[in-house]
Chain A
Amino acid sequence: MSDAINWLTQWGVLGLLAIVVILFVIFYEKFERPISRLYGLLASFNRAWQKSAIKAEIQSNINSFSRTIDKEVPDTMPYNIKLKFVKEIDRAELMQGKNLVIVRIRDRIHDDKNIVHAMLTFCPSGVMPVSRIYLDDCLGDAVDYTITRKLLSSMQYQSALNYLHKEIIEPAIKEKPELDKICRILDRLDEQGLFTKVVLRELRDFGTKVGSRYPTELHKNETRQFVSYMDTISTRATHEMVNTEFQGSFISMGFVFIGTDYKIYQEGAALYLRSLQWKKSKGIQRAYIAARDWAIDIAERSAYLAEKRKLAKIVKLTEYYATDSSGQRRKHIIIEMQLIISPFAPPEQGKLV
């Protein structure tokens, strides 16, 4: 501490300024939003600042959103967007950049269009980059629309949401009617909190497991079937018996739903441990223990006991509020358990919760 004070007295304001500059460079991402606000204030005075304001606003909104998603499910949105305005470019320069595309960004009065187009341009390379080529085309589009809708909802940007629906999604649905069904499924899963916590997670790992193999219809079929399975799970009625496992060539997972009260009174957590054991014996690699309200404690106890008995490893435990199939907003828990340790298990595996 005294060394630091000595150093500061020796270098004074200059030293302090140097520290501020270093911190600014290191934590630039944290300053993106205040910088965009500052440019926004200055935008009316100068054309250059107007451009900088648009750029900073788009970048800060997309980057902070993608960091949030990536924090929830690592490696689903691992990149930041960097918008680079081109003012002077000659033909030779453009021809040199083989894969170069210059996208048009409109004036500030079209901010809603700008953010939608920037995000949709960013999505194919920025969302699940490893799995992308193995996804069915409709599913890839539906994931991008859902992610973009989530971004705009988080910004409470109503005019951009309207633009996305009326000008982009609706015309796309007219061309591909199947897209409507997938968008609705993903929307329902998002409402129930399963879109990022399960769908993105499984699709991300799907890409890792497939590795660098040549994309075939088999891969696309499996992702389509997985989404259809998730739809069955999300629309099932209370106490309705559905198949809780999905076992494809690459995706291998299942759910353990906690909440049948008379069974809990009779057997406690033992019933759910048996269910995990059964899934493991069938070669299911990952299980999600899901519960809500009063059953959350049992879910946590089941996960704890499963790990203690070396039946499974807790990868991630998330508590959240979501709307259930009857439209009620309730507290939920989802506990991701790795039943079979595989080299393709998620990077979070092994971290004790």
Chain B
Amino acid sequence: MRKKIEVKAVYDQDLEQVLKQLGIFDKLIAGEVNCAVCKSHVDLDNLGAIFPRGEDIKVSCDNDKCIRIVTTEGATYCSE
């Protein structure tokens, strides 16, 4: 058996629920959230990834470059 790299994902239809659980849905709707990498404005349409940084929860836009920067910093980990 080959080792696996686990990539955690949220499906479009569960996105609202997950954002509410994390307490960032209202901020996102109010337009108060920016991409942690390119600083562009992030809304429900262009949200690409969610991740913790320090004591905060950050998001990135759906630009491939931003997602890759966020994920290569350690999104994935190996498991048997």
List B contacts of A84 (CB < 8 A). 6-9
List B contacts of A90 (CB < 8 A). 21-22
Contact call B18/A80, Cβ cutoff below 8 A: no
List A contacts of B13 (CB < 8 A). 47, 107
Partner of A118, one of B4, B6, B7, B15: B7
Q: How far is the CA of A43 from the CA of B72 in the complex (A)?
A: 32
Q: How far is the CA of A99 from the CA of B6 in the complex (A)?
A: 12
Q: How far is the CA of A21 from the CA of B64 in the complex (A)?
A: 40
Contact call A91/B21, Cβ cutoff below 8 A: yes
List B contacts of A79 (CB < 8 A). 2-5, 78
Chain A residues 81-112 with CB under 8 Å of chain B are 81-91, 94-95, 97-107
Mark the stretch among A119-127, A228-236, A309-317 that contacts chain B. A119-127
In the assembled complex, the CB of A277 is this many whole angstroms from the nearest CB of chain B, namely 40
Contact call A97/B52, Cβ cutoff below 8 A: yes
In the assembled complex, the CB of B39 is this many whole angstroms from the nearest CB of chain A, namely 15
Contact call B72/A124, Cβ cutoff below 8 A: yes
Partner of A87, one of B17, B22, B67: B17
List A contacts of B67 (CB < 8 A). 103, 117, 120-121
List A contacts of B3 (CB < 8 A). 78-80
**19 further A-B pairs in the complex, CB-CB below 8 A; given A79-B3, A101-B51, A102-B10:** A54-B11, A79-B4, A81-B7, A82-B79, A83-B7, A94-B22, A100-B52, A101-B74, A102-B9, A102-B18, A102-B51, A103-B7, A103-B67, A104-B9, A105-B12, A116-B64, A117-B48, A121-B71, A167-B64
Residues of B bordering A, CB below 8 Å: 1-15, 17-18, 21-23, 47-52, 55, 57, 62-65, 67-68, 70-79
Name 6 A/B residue pairs within 8 A (Cβ), A-sorted. A82-B4, A99-B73, A103-B7, A103-B48, A103-B71, A105-B12
Contact call B22/A89, Cβ cutoff below 8 A: yes
Contact call A102/B4, Cβ cutoff below 8 A: no
Task: With CB as the reference atom, state the residue of chain B lying closest to A54.
Answer: B11
Partner of A86, one of B8, B65, B76: B8
List B contacts of A106 (CB < 8 A). 12
Contact call A86/B52, Cβ cutoff below 8 A: no
Q: Would you give the 0/1 interface string for A163-204, flagging 1 where the beta carbon is closer than 8 Å to chain B?
A: 000011001100100000000000000000000000000000
Contact call A51/B11, Cβ cutoff below 8 A: yes
Partner of B21, one of A89, A116, A167: A89
Residue A67, interface by CB 8 Å? yes
List B contacts of A103 (CB < 8 A). 7-10, 48-49, 67, 71, 75
In the assembled complex, the CB of B58 is this many whole angstroms from the nearest CB of chain A, namely 10
In the assembled complex, the CB of A144 is this many whole angstroms from the nearest CB of chain B, namely 8
Contact call A86/B18, Cβ cutoff below 8 A: yes
Contact call B14/A98, Cβ cutoff below 8 A: no
